[in-house]
Amino acid sequence: MSVTVRIPTQLRSLTGGLGEVPVEASTLRDAIDALEAAHPGLRERLLDDTGGLRRFVNVFVADEDVRFLQGLETSVQDGQTISVVPAVAGG
């Protein structure tokens, strides 16, 4: 299934400046693998050493936070959008 991954500005140097990248995937994990194949270096920015999502990276599938769904095993449907959003901290 074809989905679109929205890439935050901070990671666009890895995608040649692209803000959106189309990939074929049926789960979020598949989408990250496809991103890595097309744009090496993205996986290590999104996943930690244990293979889970990094603490300060938020990912949404169709506007739903994957941490409240099935995490990396969250299903994606044809035409959906995956948004990668870095956490913002401050005081």
Distances (CA, A) of 11 to 7, 68, 74, 79, 86: 6, 24, 22, 22, 10
pLDDT band at 86 (very low <50, low <70, confident <90, very high): confident
- Rg from Cα positions in the chain: 12
Alpha carbon distance, N-terminus to C-terminus of the chain = 41
Range(s) of the domain holding residue 32: 2-86
For residue 74, being part of any structural domain is answered with yes
CB count within 10 Å of CB 59 equals 24
What's the pLDDT tens digit per position in 29-53?
Answer: 999 999 999 999 999 999 999 999 9
Mean pLDDT of 62-71: 95
Mean pLDDT of 60-73: 96
d(CA 26, CA 30): 6
pTM of the shown model: 0.92
CB count within 10 Å of CB 58 equals 17
CATH of the domain at 27: 3.10.20.30
Q: What is the mean pLDDT of the chain?
A: 94
Which pLDDT score, from 0 to 100, does residue 90 have?
61
For residue 52, being part of any structural domain is answered with yes
pLDDT band at 91 (very low <50, low <70, confident <90, very high): low
Q: How many domains does the chain have?
A: 1
For residue 91, being part of any structural domain is answered with no
